[in-house]
Structure 1
Amino acid sequence: MSAQYDSIGEKVADWDVLPVRSEYIEGHTFFKVLGPIAGQSVLDVACGDGLYTRQFKARGASRAVGVDVSEEMIRVGRKLEDEQRSGIEYHVSDVAEMANLGQFDLVTAVYLLHYAHSPEHMLRMCRNIHAHLKPGGSFVTYTFNPGFSAKGPNSTRYGISMLDFPQAPQDGHAITAELHTKTPFTIHFSYWSQATHEQVLREAGFHSLTWTRPECSSEGLLKYGQAFWQDYLDNPHGIALRCQR
């Protein structure tokens, strides 16, 4: 995973403004599931260039720490922090091997678990995330939707499409997604079923697992209309999941 994001570099900024990546779908759903941020300490793993890490600080987080396996992504995040300081800490690390950074009220991960190359690797990630949460804290992730269907709509107008997605995916199946940015690029990850996600998370010590399908914000509906979004809402590539320690 490190190598593919190191090669993407600052092109990831083009991804951050795609229709489904924006505040209209992903951001809207993610923050609705998260709830209030003000006064909370947040560890943002798989933070990329810090898109959401910066938003946590802007929303009043008492502490915001970003972790990513890609040195290039962290370099970009640190560059942005240097340009406009807000007190964000950034660290390069594989979440499965992450050193102790303290305990937090919230741990977040937007696009992490589907990069696990095995259930055992995912379990190491989740155990380390669990260890970084205060008792009663929450882990909120936005991950590839295990219910995504090859038979459903997969329109490029949303900025992302799945290539050669199987009719009946099995755990560990390799998936390629194409991002339709100004300079298009692809990312590669693995398919994991809802049952595998839940088994791993419970084994790591989490409970009260709640899946939330994406919703469109009122601003998105006003700008584009319900008909524009409907195909994506019927077959979203991403989905939110909240767990309790």
Structure 2
Amino acid sequence: MSAQYDQLGEKLTNWDVLPVRSEYLEGHTFFKALGSVKGRTVLDLACGDGLYTRQLKARGASRVVGVDISEEMIRSARRHEEEQPLGIEYHVSDVADMAPLGTFDCVTAVYLLHYAQSPEHLLRMCRNIHAHLKPGGSFVTYAFNPGFSARGPNSTRYGITMLDFPESPRDGQAISAELHTKSPFTIHFSYWSQGTHERTLREAGFHTLTWMRPECSPEGVVRAGREFWQDYLDNPHAVALRCER
């Protein structure tokens, strides 16, 4: 999975402006699931160029560490850090093979688990995430929605189109999505059912798993109107998941 993000490079720099990735939808839902990070330590996995990593620090986290499998994404994140130092550390690693970085109050990941290449890879990811949490800590991720329906709304107006999504996807099945930025690009990942997510996370040691469908913030409703967001909210491509250690 590192290769696709290394190759995408600059195309990823403006995908946070898409409606589906906006602060009104993705950001609002993710931070609502996470709660306050003021004074807490956070490990941000699949951090990309540090979009959410920097926001975690800005929200008062005492220590923030970002990890991504893509060297290109980490180079971009480090450039941001050099230009505007926040005291964030960045590392290149596959989460499944990540060396110990300490223990944290929270581990976060916006788009990670669906990049697991096999059930074993997924379990190794989850075990390593668990190992990096303090007792009582939380893992909060924003992940591909196992309940996404091929028959539901799938409009390009939100900035994403699932390509040839099967009506009954199988665990491990290859999935593709097109992102409609100024320079459109396609990402590839694997489908994992809700049951597989939950069994794997519990086997890794997590409990009290809470799924949260995306919500639009009041600001987003004012900006675009509730009707604009409704099709996406009825069939979101991603959902939040909070797991307690």
- TM bin, normalised by shorter chain, reads over 0.9
1:236 corresponds to which residue?
236
Cα shift at 1:60: 0.6
In 1, Cα distance between equivalents of 2:218 and 2:178: 27
Q: Deviations over 1:63-89 (max 9, x none)?
A: 000000000000000001000000000
Correspondence list, 1:95-134, <5 A: 95-134=95-134
1:207 corresponds to which residue?
207
Correspondence list, 1:76-225, <5 A: 76-225=76-225
TM-score norm. by structure 1 comes to: 0.99
Cα shift at 1:51: 0.5
Moved beyond 3 Å, runs of 4+: none
In 2, Cα distance between equivalents of 1:52 and 1:110: 8
In 1, Cα distance between equivalents of 2:183 and 2:11: 7
In 2, Cα distance between equivalents of 1:164 and 1:172: 16
In 1, Cα distance between equivalents of 2:158 and 2:178: 11
In 2, Cα distance between equivalents of 1:9 and 1:85: 22
User: 5+ unaligned residues in a row in structure 1: which ranges?
Assistant: none
SS at match of 1:205: coil
2:4 corresponds to which residue?
4
User: 5+ unaligned residues in a row in structure 2: which ranges?
Assistant: none
Once superposed, what is the RMSD of the aligned Cα atoms?
Answer: 0.5
Cα shift at 1:240: 0.3
Cα shift at 1:34: 0.4
Q: Is the 8 A contact 1:110 1:141 kept in 2?
A: yes
1:57 corresponds to which residue?
57
Cα shift at 1:10: 2.5
Q: Is the 8 A contact 1:10 1:76 kept in 2?
A: no
The alignment covers a number of residue pairs equal to 245
Over the matched positions of the two proteins, sequence identity in percent amounts to 78
The residue type equivalent to 1:235 in the other structure is N
